[in-house]
A and B are shown apart, each in its own frame.
Chain A
Amino acid sequence: MSETAQKEPQNPLVEGLERLPIHPTTLVIFGGTGDLAKRKLLPALYNLAHEGALPERFTLIGVSRSDMPHDDYRQMAKESIMQFSRRPPDEKVLDRLLENVRYVPGTFDEDSIYEKVKETAEEFDQGAEIVFNRVFYLSTAPAFFPVIVGKLGEHGLNRHDESEVRVVIEKPIGRNLAEAMALTRANLGVLREEQVFRIDHYLGKETVQNMMALRFANGLFEPIWNRNYIDYVQITAAEDLGVGTRAGYYETSGAVRDLVQNHMLQLLALLCMEPPVTFSADDVRDEKVKVLHAIHAPEVDRVKEIAVRAQYASGMAEGKDVPGYLDEPGVPPDSTTETFGGIRLEVDNWRWAGVPIYLRTGKRLARKITEIAVTLKPVPHLAFDQQGSVGVQPNQLIMTMQPNEGVSITLGAKIPGSRMRIRPVNMEFLYGTAFLSQSPEAYERLITDAMRGDATLFTRVDEVIAQWRIIDPILQAWSEEPGPLPKYPAGSSGPEEANGILMPGHHWRTI
């Protein structure tokens, strides 16, 4: 039942409140003992409780395979929160939060767990004399998504006459276009699209949302935000760490599936989209989808011209020797999983046609940084003598998501002295210097949005499909090529081969 479908009595008391009420909610975490639940979801729920930001009435049901009583699950949740919360927990708040936690053991294909979840949720309703909304959070391996969604449907948990039912799904949505479409069909056979909240936690980051503020709350940038002024764009998501103990997952994913198909294409879409009419969920996502549709999917036999992959070799990181990817524990010696991916795309629309957009991501690079660099075209005429200086460089606008969140602009400035010599200088805005508040964890924002039913920061089905349509031919071409892959030394800026996809005159920024 849609909350907006009926004419509602108003609540004038919410006017002016910073935290708007959220309807009482029962959150069910499938995979309640998993790594994501322990490290992110349970600590996020505690922090929301600490700040008084959970619904006035909130109950939690953990579902997982391990057989344990409620109290053991509460103890596990308590320990996870104490270990991973961004603030030291207040024991009284934590204890009260855990009082409303239940646990349902079982495998996700067992009918009994769904009946038990239903029964427990109804007990919460009866105890409170109010019908809670239901949010099912699928924090499981992707293979279980269709199983769980199907069972929710079979047991009538996919809708409720008196409350809202929502399902939160973690990435990856499939490993390729065909799987994504199959999964989508399975979901939408049971749920309406408005009920599905596909998490891309990048979108929950304040600095990513700030991109929209930068573009649409400032008259300074919009006039130059087009092919007439912008030469090229680079989006970088570099990690300094290796694959560590995650080889099992990484071997099924690789750099492009892990970061490009979802997070980096979302950044691209936010960077390139037209101003939405409003910041409602569908208006924003409509504009993002238009951008993704304007990117031509590469032809498989031309992938080499626009995409490059590589693996890190042994090298030095943080002052010590580190192994190459193929020597990491759990990685097969003949693995062709890429740890670096670089792709050149173009958005073929009126605003962006002809502007290359370079995406690159990798592990074991020189440092951890996520940034978008927009390089403007050079000035049309130079009256200055460039001798004795590095000369006039094109302006760059750099939006850094991590580690030093902020925006900087490179400008040409006169070097002090008797001659008119120019060098680039930086004008910087650091996010942390201008706001008192510490940014909440992305999951805190996204969990409350899902409970509230605000899908603005979640990925809509047509976005997912459009993202896969771009990436699928690249992965297909790579799957048809034998190894070994090009190598780059651990701790470097990436493989030499990455230069091969750059257009003449363009260069990668130093990582």
Chain B
Amino acid sequence: MAHDLDTDPTWLGGVWAEQNTTPAKIAEALSELLKARHADGEACAPARVLNLVVIVDREWRGEIINRLERVGRYHPSRLILCAVEPGRTELDAWATLRVEGDPRPGEMALYHEEVVVDIGEQHLGMMDTIVDPLVVSDLVTVVWSPHGHPEAVDSLLRLAQVVLIDSLMEPDPAAAVARARELEERAYIVDLAWLRSTPWRERVAATFDPRSLRPELGKINSVTVRHRPDSVITGLLFFGWLASRLGWEPGHIMSQHDALVGHAHGRRQDVKLRLEPDPTMNAPGLAGVTIETASGTEISLNRGPGGLTARRRNRKGNETTWTVLGASRGEGGILGEGIRQALLRDPTYAPALRAARAMLP
């Protein structure tokens, strides 16, 4: 039955809503919304890339929806947002189709499906039974639970191929690494804390890529990472990446005043590691990286206007500075990148995570 969007009170403005509903009714509503679009004769097609299942605390629902709206072109094709409200026993839901961009004449409109389901804590352990009828079969399903609720994530692992996490949200780095390791054995992990280090990893790799500088990689004897105080984990993953790529054997890190310090055993020499908090930094993630080599070269990258400010000091003490161009992606960009990465496979995260684990006492 095609619903009349103008007169049916549950379909006002192209939005379907129902209290005390069921997953089957929500799935039917999505199907009816699609038929109504086609009945209107609109040249439109549904995006069919991935399902994103998000579990949030209901009081922060609006904030998460706003974050998802800022992901730019990386909208999931079907968003199923489950808002957890303590004490709730019934499911309330609404669903809508959102058209992307402003198609020109002759172009197909592309739309995304959005479903919000209010759930109670009692539903968390059986999330798979609520979500299963709502995901598009054969598409990658990604789960993101920014406010914790590990039991919901665990119950959804039967359906999901990818889990989006942000290790930064876990105050204890050891607990963050342990949880990431646990999930990594059961699904592909996209960690926003890792993605915040991507530009740094790319630029450090590029800095040492000229043929004349590659031998310096084997001579690294000190790495200092500066980070926002809550972003220790991003720094640890960065160390883990260097260690796993360069064959270092990481030792434990420990507190020293405000910093965390430690060593890794390189093939030729030990490497001093230091994580320094930078309270002036506004955005989560890293503020700077300094790498020194046994031959006296020092390379540092720091956040700056229009990209990263790079500085190289050679063994004679001569310095050059330049800007490695790149716009800040912002937190919306990081989340969008996380959604995009769900379709790719990064073979370097898991080894970096294992190396980071080895640095924690």
Contacts and interface: CB of A to CB of B under 8 A. Distances in A.
Interface of A: 3, 8-19, 21-24, 49-52, 54-58, 90, 92-97, 99, 127-130, 367-368, 403-404, 428, 430, 432-438
B108 A434 contact: no
Contacts of B15: none
Nearest to B246: A12
A54 B202 CA distance: 12
Interface residues on B, range: 35 or more
Given A12-B246, A13-B201, A93 B339 contact: no
Contacts of A403: 104, 106-107
A132 to B, nearest CB: 10
Interface in B178-203: 199, 201-203
A96 B320 contact: no
Contacts of B327: 50-52, 90, 92-93
B106 A436 contact: no
A9 B214 contact: yes
B49 A93 contact: no
Contact of A56 (B73, B75, B207): B207
Interface in B212-263: 212, 214-215, 217, 242, 245-247
**A-B CB proximity, top 8 nearest:** A52-B326, A96-B306, A16-B348, A21-B206, A13-B205, A92-B306, A21-B209, A9-B214
15 contacts: A9-B211, A12-B217, A13-B204, A13-B246, A14-B205, A21-B209, A49-B326, A93-B325, A96-B325, A99-B323, A129-B314, A404-B107, A435-B49, A436-B50, A438-B73
B361 interface: no
Contacts of B69: none
A130 B217 CA distance: 17
A16 B104 CA distance: 38
Contacts of A52: 199, 202-203, 307, 324-327
B205 A93 contact: no
Given A23-B209, A96-B307, A96-B325, A15 B49 contact: no
Given A8-B214, A13-B217, A436 B246 contact: no
Interface stretch (B27-35, B40-48, B115-123, B156-164): B40-48
Contacts of A432: 47, 108, 110
A92 B328 CA distance: 10
Interface string B312-324: 1010001010111
Contacts of B104: 403
B87 interface: no
B325 A58 contact: yes
Given A49-B326, A433-B45, A436-B73, A127 B320 contact: yes
Given A12-B246, A433-B45, A51 B326 contact: yes
Interface string B280-291: 000000000000
Contact of B48 (A54, A94, A99, A434): A434
A8 B347 CA distance: 24
A340 B280 CA distance: 64
Report which residue of A13, A52, A99, A430 has the largest number of chain B beta carbons within 10 angstroms of its beta carbon. Answer: A13
Interface string B65-98: 0000000011101000000000000000000000
Contact of A11 (B73, B217, B326): B217
A430 B108 contact: yes
B325 A97 contact: yes
B306 A95 contact: yes
A120 to B, nearest CB: 16
A129 B320 contact: yes
B346 interface: yes
Nearest to B336: A436
Nearest to B318: A129
B271 interface: no
A13 B208 contact: yes
A485 B182 CA distance: 74
A58 B325 CA distance: 9
Given A11-B217, A16-B347, A436 B49 contact: yes
A114 B201 CA distance: 38
Nearest to A54: B325
Given A403-B104, A430-B45, A430-B108, A436 B205 contact: no
B148 interface: no
B215 A9 contact: yes
A15 B208 contact: no
